[in-house]
Amino acid sequence: MNSIADHILDITNNSIRAAATRIEIGLGYDDQAHTLTFSVLDNGKGMEASVLEQVTDPFFTSRKSRKQGFGLPFIKMNAELTGGSFSIESIPGAGTRLETRFITNHIDMLPVGDLAGVLTILFTSEPDIDIHFTFKTNEQEFQAGNQEILEIFNEFPAGSASCYTLIKTYLHDNIELKTLLEV
């Protein structure tokens, strides 16, 4: 994973595979504390304690299509390399909550990446899942949900290039990425 946006896409895809009907993605940037916090909360199938204990082992995966699971171990490693933290909680049948904290002025801090592009992909590719995004800084808060955004741009088919471009521009303009790109 080369960026925070890559991690958001990967972790959110885990929630989608876990049959979540609601996914809450949070990103908070505190320029005074030099921290970037990323969280995902879903109402998917959750994990048993025995699985939860192993999810940060790169040679463990619950998926049958491969023998390794690098997403969670990589996000944990990337957060901890900056002096940050990683936590995950899960309740079988109720969902999972993941939170990572990165120290943004550390040399190992990943770039944020194309956050608006990743959110646009998630918002347009999963219209039946309620995906909600919250972005907070010391100066602003912005919230967006795919259901509301798809309704705003309803004259364009969800998978069309026009819809994708309009949504990405809307997200980019409202998530002051310039602030994060200086991280």
| pLDDT above 90: residue 58 | no
Mean pLDDT for the chain overall: 85
pLDDT in tens, 111-131: 999 999 999 999 888 888 999
The residue ranges of every structural domain in the chain are: 4-181
pLDDT band with cut points at 50, 70 and 90 for residue 151: confident
Yes or no: is domain 4-181 CATH 3.30.565? yes
Q: With bands split at pLDDT 50, 70 and 90, how would you rate the model's confidence at 64?
A: low
* pTM, full prediction: 0.87
pLDDT band with cut points at 50, 70 and 90 for residue 37: very high
> How does pLDDT run across 82-109, given as a tens digit for each residue?
999 999 999 999 999 999 999 999 999 9
The three state secondary structure string of the chain is CCCHHHHHHHHHHHHHHCCCCEEEEEEEEECCCCEEEEEEEECCCCCCHHHHCCCCCCCCCCCCCCCCCCHHHHHHHHHHHCCCEEEEEEECCCEEEEEEEEECCCCCCCCCCCHHHHHHHHHHHCCCCEEEEEEECCCCEEEEEHHHHHHHCCCCCCCCHHHHHHHHHHHHHHCCHHHHHCC
